[in-house]
Amino acid sequence: MAIRSVRYMGDPLLSARAQEVSHFPSAALTELVGDMKDTMAALNGAGLAAPQIGVPLRIVIFGVQANPRYPEVAGVPDTVLVNPVVEAIGDDEEEGWEGCLSVPGMRGLVPRYQRIRYRGFDLEGTPIMREAEGFHARVVQHECDHLDGILYPLRIRDLRFFGYESVLFPEGMEASDR
């Protein structure tokens, strides 16, 4: 397994729709996801999508440890999701600050559905289906957007709320990069 280089906004691969995974489990898939985990951990990300390391397949990983210093930010289970599908539960949205390993140093205020249902498969092909809300739902929507070529700045409604993290949050911010 290895840390791979992350593609940055402007790379055409990040604007393209990724392809469904058709065969799993497979050794190649296991190796790819291992590289994704290593890369995400090395960069302190909350999630990563395969296209971000140059692989145009519909695979995302995510996970955030609950941090007792920030009890308002709930943990998100460590998850590998292949061929994910996300649907909103209800119309409620909320705005929240996001960052992205493909848009380093920036933050933006992004509307997301407050509650979602998502499904997909783990590495062995076992179905996963969950409901999520709040930060968990936000992370999943952000990562799955990558598979459709959508980076979070495209979702920002008011670009006054998009800028450099060091300027927006000079004293730091609780949420990690994603």
Binding-site ranges for Ni ion (CB under 5 A): 100
Catalytic, out of 72, 131, 143, 171: 143
CB of 144: closest distance to Ni ion in angstroms? 10
CB of 142: closest distance to Ni ion in angstroms? 6
Closest CB to Ni ion: residue number? 100
Phi and psi of 147, rounded to 5°?
-75, -15
Respond yes or no: is residue 143 known to be catalytic.
Answer: yes
**C-beta of 36 vs 100, nearer to Ni ion:** 100
Nearest to 173 by CA among 75, 96, 65, 77: 96
CB of 74: closest distance to Ni ion in angstroms? 19
**C-beta of 50 vs 123, nearer to Ni ion:** 50
Buried b / exposed e along 81-95 (16+ C-beta atoms within 10 A) = bbbbebeeeeeeeee
List CB contacts of 101: < 8 A, sequence separation 6 or more. Answer: 6, 40, 43, 45, 48, 52, 177, 178
**C-beta of 14 vs 123, nearer to Ni ion:** 14
Q: Annotated active-site positions, please?
A: 143
